[in-house]
Amino acid sequence: MSKSVPANQCPDCNGGLEDIKLFGRSWKNPLSGAAIDAEVMYYAAANAKRSSMMSMYEEAGTVRATMCHECRRIFLHGIPN
C-alpha cells in the first residue's frame, strides 16, 4: 500500500519538489565547447519499435521531472497522452 503524499512533497523526507529539466548532452567539441543538448520529454512502451519512415518511437506520454529541495532525490512522473 502506498501512502498518500501531495504531488509537490517528497515521499521520503516531506521536502518540497520543484520542476527540473533532464537532458542528454552529445560529445563536446574541445575547440568550440559546443555540444548538442536533447531534453528528455517523452516515454514509450518498453517494447516500442522505431518507425521505418522517421526512425522515431511512438510516444506514449510525456515525462515530468521534479527534485526534492531537501534530499535532492529526483522523481519522474509519466503523463499519458
> Which residues are near Zn ion by CB under 5 A?
10, 12-13, 15, 68, 70-71
CB of 75 to Zn ion, least distance (A): 9
- Give the Cα separation of 73 and 53 in Å (integer): 38
| Smallest gap from residue 20 Cβ to Zn ion (A) | 13
Cβ atoms of 14 and 71 closer than 8 Å = no
Q: Which is nearer to Zn ion, 58 or 70 (CB)?
A: 70
Grid cell, residue 36, equals: 548538442
- Output the smallest distance, CB 24 to Zn ion, in A: 25
